[in-house]
Amino acid sequence: MGSHRAHDINAKASPMYRQLKAMFSSHSPRSQTRSSSIATVPATDNQSAVIKRVESCYLQAEQQLNRRFSRPEVNFKLRGKSAGTAHLQLNKLRFNATLLEENPQAFLDQVVAHEICHLLAHQLFGRVKPHGKEWQSLMVNIFGLRPDTTHNLDISSVEGKTFTYYCNCGPVHLTIRRHNKIRRQQTQYRCRRCKQTLTAASTTTSQA
């Protein structure tokens, strides 16, 4: 789950959800073994709460869809500005320990379910768009959540040093990795909105 402000998406996926329900409701739950999440030993109470929330979400999904899902590996080793990420092929969830400690309720309310829906969408539908209609349907119909694609948490503690560039829209803060690529003339970056090439400011700022 990335760090930019969330987009307001109106998911209209009820027909898809009804199709999923029909697919599994006429059969007894699949006999796939349901194992506990393979989790790093929690270092804090908030990490313990996230692990419990993962299990709660899976139980809720199993009850709604009348099928079982294998539990993912869970760890808290994610760094950077993302709150969480799902590794589809590995059936693994990684969460940002720093952002979790600063925003525990947001993780329990939104982030955990957001990442789990990525894994569920992959297991149910195969290769689909990361935040496509399948993912949106699961967010809305299983967990009753607005399908925001990114978070709007305060990331100042994990953002690190940034370098200020400008376009017609105003200042844009680039990471040191992107800044160095520009300095080495390896690439240029353009604003997604105004399409103007970003130009460096005369001074740099640190957001740490």
**For helices 133-141 and 14-25, what crossing angle results, to 10°?**
80
State the DSSP string of 152-169.
----HHHH-EEEEEEETT
- C-alpha–C-alpha distance, residues 81 and 5, integer Å: 12
Q: Which residues contact 29 (CB under 8 A, 6 or more apart)?
A: 62, 66, 67, 68
38-to-77, 115, 186 alpha-carbon distances in Å: 14, 16, 41
What φ, ψ does residue 24 adopt, rounded to 5°? -110, -15
115 flagged as catalytic: yes
Catalytic residue among 73, 102, 115, 134, which? 115
- Catalytic amino acids? 115
